[in-house]
Structure 1
């Protein structure tokens, strides 16, 4: 059992509704006149990502495969997601995770802001990077069941391809987000169903994302 689980930090994390309320509150708070460029850039991302997550919720319905996998969960699971609302990947992927978790009373979702929990984030690095969103599922007694993220495999491959093509990071990100806007976020549904099928009905084991 990880120390942070035993300490209850995960259990005190934000429910999805609380996370969205906090995000909405940030949007409603005007930046001060002396806000620096980084603050303005992040606020810009908050606005665009709010629209993106809302569109995913409008367009998305869990697949039969994912619905069946979640509904087959018999013992309680606690899903931790490390993320931030300024993250473009998370804007498209967290709604899928949240809607999946909502399919079963046995699954509880808690969201930990990455930048306030860097010690936990550093236990789930991706290639040495604090990449988000990162989902880690635990059994009721704190055993890690599976991990997933920060991107579906197809999105990760697309990002690697674009990294070879672009030197400018902003151009790269703009091109990459088109992958999600064209429906690439739906791969999260398929991969979550696969992760769950591997652990449901079996003894706890970690399946890395």
Structure 2
């Protein structure tokens, strides 16, 4: 990436941060959307609205039940760098509903991590800078150094084990089926966020 591209990415991130909200505000907004029978984003389809209602229940559960071991808590608290975590999300996204509550639990333990969220469809320029295999896949975490404004790393849209499951299934079957998506949800429920925690700790190098 050349200097002009670096500046362009920094400007896009800076603009998106002005539209960002805290995790608490995001949860309140998704809860409100679910209560009103709405979804985030321009498309208000029945399917997306139903996903938003389901995801609100998922996040509510994870907010209460995600556990981080004492050893991992110590590692997170030892992280001293001053960074912003900017997460691209939407209320209807199943992966985001599993990933964002865990990221919030990690960020809460570190004084150096400031977690912010933005909606994908309100920030297309940002999303297009951080595609996954050419796709606007979410949740996408962008780790930004607050002093330099540089992007340190990215994470998402899924934890490493789930990504392998998806890639293996696509290689064998060509596309993801409703049955596989149910299997993936069961994996998330069984894993309880632990794969996300280990992935992120590896990125933080603590």
- What is the TM-score of this pair, normalised by structure 1? 0.82
Deviating above 6 A after TM superposition, structure 1's stretches of 4 or more consecutive aligned residues are none
Match of 2:116 in 1: 110
Q: For 2:117, what is the secondary structure of its paired residue? A: strand
Q: Tell me if 1:191 matches 2:194.
A: no
In the TM superposition, residue 50 of structure 1 has moved relative to its aligned partner by 1.4
Match of 1:122 in 2: 128
Alpha-carbon displacement from aligned partner over 1:40-59 (angstroms, at most 9, x marks no partner): 10111011111212222222
Match of 1:170 in 2: 178
Count of equivalent residues: 192
Q: For 2:51, what is the secondary structure of its paired residue? A: helix
Residues 6/60 of structure 1: CA separation in 2 closer, same or farther (3 Å cut): closer
Residues 54/80 of structure 1: CA separation in 2 closer, same or farther (3 Å cut): same
Q: Tell me if 1:21 matches 2:28.
A: yes
Residues 66/147 of structure 1: CA separation in 2 closer, same or farther (3 Å cut): farther
CA contact (8 A) 1:66 1:192 kept: no
CA contact (8 A) 1:66 1:100 kept: no
Alpha-carbon displacement from aligned partner over 1:44-89 (angstroms, at most 9, x marks no partner): 1011111212222222122345423331232321110001111111
Alignment equivalent of 2:162, drawn from 139, 152, 155: 155
In 2, Cα distance between the equivalents of 1:166 and 1:175? Answer: 17
Q: For 2:45, what is the secondary structure of its paired residue? A: helix
Q: For 1:102, what is the secondary structure of its paired residue? A: helix
CA contact (8 A) 1:77 1:140 kept: yes
Match of 1:203 in 2: none
Q: For 1:22, what is the secondary structure of its paired residue? A: helix
In the TM superposition, residue 170 of structure 1 has moved relative to its aligned partner by 2.8
Match of 1:91 in 2: 97
Higher mean Cα deviation, 165-174 or 14-23? 165-174
More helix per residue: 1 or 2? 2
Residues 6/162 of structure 1: CA separation in 2 closer, same or farther (3 Å cut): closer
Alpha-carbon displacement from aligned partner over 1:2-50 (angstroms, at most 9, x marks no partner): 112344x31540100110111011112146xxxxx96110111011111
Q: Which runs of 5+ in 1 are unaligned?
A: 32-36, 201-209
Higher mean Cα deviation, 180-189 or 104-113? 180-189
Q: For 1:150, what is the secondary structure of its paired residue? A: coil
| Structure 1 segment 42-61 matched on structure 2, within 5 A | 42-61=48-67
Match of 1:39 in 2: 45
- What is the TM-score of this pair, normalised by structure 2? 0.84
Q: For 1:122, what is the secondary structure of its paired residue? A: helix
Alignment equivalent of 2:80, drawn from 65, 71, 74: 74
